[in-house]
Amino acid sequence: MSTVTTNDHRIAGLAWALCAGLGLLGAAAAAFPGAAASPLWAGGVGVAGVLAGGFLAAMVRTALAAARREAEAACPPPPGVAGLDALCGQVLPIWNRQIETARSQTETSLVDLAACFGDIHQRLDAALGLYRSSTGRLSDSGGEDDVMAMLEQGQNDLSAMLSSLRAGIRAKQAMLERIREVAGFSDELKAMADSVSALANQTNLVALNAAIEAAWVGESGRGFAVIADEVRKLSILSGDTGKQITARVDGVTHAIYDAVRIAEQYADQDARAMRDSERLIEGVLNVFRGAVGHLTEAATRFQHEGRAVQETVSGVIVSLQFQDRVSQILRQTMDDMARLENLLDERSEGGARGEAAAPIDVAAWLDELSRTYTTLEQLDNHLGTQSSAPAKATEITFF
């Protein structure tokens, strides 16, 4: 702190001016016409007065500074800065408004932000719900089992169809065997027809011999010759019939063997078609299984990602709540600033009325301030200790 103030300079200036004035007055008196002193004397008096004034002023300044130092040592001046009250009276409302603006703008933005995250959360829920229903409840552990069961059912149905086809082929093969047996019967029929032809030839030969023997007998053998001739005609007819039967049997046998050959060709085609169908169905099922596998994997991944996003949004919901703590801390600070502003106003008005201002009870002020805190961070800040981080886990007390 400077020991020589503006007032000291003023007092010293007055002392100097007084001495200088007296010197100049003395000089004027000496120079006055009729005075005994010479002009040189008068000038000397004036200069001496000015010099004495300067010396006296310096002495006064030194004495005042010393007196001030002693006074300050004996009784220190009250703390404070001149004009601080007025400054606070002006600046505190401004600070208050600035903080309120920042607080309200943050609050508004966070409300919008919360609405956006709420919208994301709801849309995600809706998307996941829709996905669950459209993929046959693939989302949960049983979903894949459902689809695999559906696949298995399809495979069983197709296997049943193939079994029916195999049964049809087996029936055809059985029929083919019966036809082959019929072909075997035709050979027997042909042999029987040959036997008929052979019997007819022999009968014809016997009838011929009988006719010869009848001719040897003469007129009495004429009737027997007629019979023998008729027998020979019948044997010829029997031989012809046997030949016709043989021809027919040959025709039928050829037809049956043709039918067997064609049926065997169809049976081969059926067997190939069956093998191709089995391979095709197995291939389709494998493709379907692969597609379901990919779909299930994608569904699982989608579910996983969806849950991760939901957890992130939950984290955001927790973080958004810190605005409330921040808002409370700012509001409490603003309230205390307003309290200080009111106090300054009251003291200013009291001063204007000439009332002596009582000293501010700082301890009482701080005590009242500490009673308005709602969070641990505020108390920590008040005490100047390390600030407590708000708990991440929810603190719940049930009564």
Partner 1 sequence: MAKTILIVDDSASIRQVVGLTLKGAGYDVVDAVDGRDALGKLDGRKLHLVISDVNMPNMDGISFVREMKVRPAYKFTPVIMLTTEAGEAKKRDGQMAGAKAWVVKPFQPAQMLDAVSKLIMP
Identified binder of partner 1 from the candidate list 38, 269, 286, 314, rule CB under 8 A: 314
Identify which of residues 219 and 395 has a Cβ nearer to partner 1 in the complex.
Answer: 395
What are the residue ranges of helices labelled H in 32-140? 39-74, 84-134
Q: Using CA atoms, how far apart are residues 219 and 202, in angstroms rounded to an integer?
A: 26
Identified binder of partner 1 from the candidate list 166, 243, 325, 339, rule CB under 8 A: 325
Identify which of residues 25 and 376 has a Cβ nearer to partner 1 in the complex.
Answer: 376
Identified binder of partner 1 from the candidate list 160, 217, 317, 338, rule CB under 8 A: 317
Would you call 183 helix, strand, or coil by DSSP? helix
Return the residues of window 147-186 that contact partner 1 according to CB under 8 A: none
Identified binder of partner 1 from the candidate list 38, 195, 321, 370, rule CB under 8 A: 321
Give the Cβ contact number of residue 211 at 10 Å. 19
Identify which of residues 82 and 383 has a Cβ nearer to partner 1 in the complex.
Answer: 383
- Which among 189, 229, 191 is positioned nearest to 209, based on CA atoms? 229
- Which among 329, 339, 337, 335 is positioned nearest to 390, based on CA atoms? 329
Site string for partner 1, 61-100 (x = CB under 8 A): ----------------------------------------
Task: Decide if residue 118 touches partner 1 (CB under 8 A).
Answer: yes
Give the Cβ contact number of residue 378 at 10 Å. 20
Identified binder of partner 1 from the candidate list 101, 156, 202, 374, rule CB under 8 A: 374
Which two structure tokens, joined as six digits, stand for 166?
Answer: 């195999």
CB of 147 to partner 1, least distance (A): 29
Give the binding range for partner 1 (CB under 8 A) out of 48-56, 165-173, 269-277, 386-394: 386-394
Identified binder of partner 1 from the candidate list 30, 110, 228, 249, rule CB under 8 A: 110
- Mention every residue, 6+ apart, whose C-beta is less than 8 A from residue 78: 359
Note whether 137 and 150 are within 8 A (CB). Answer: no
Return the residues of window 326-345 that contact partner 1 according to CB under 8 A: 327-328
Q: Using CA atoms, how far apart are residues 321 and 329, in angstroms rounded to an integer?
A: 13
Q: Using CA atoms, how far apart are residues 191 and 185, in angstroms rounded to an integer?
A: 10
Give the interface with partner 1 as residue ranges (CB under 8 A): 107-108, 110-111, 114-115, 117-118, 121-122, 125, 314, 317-325, 327-328, 374-376, 390-391, 393-399
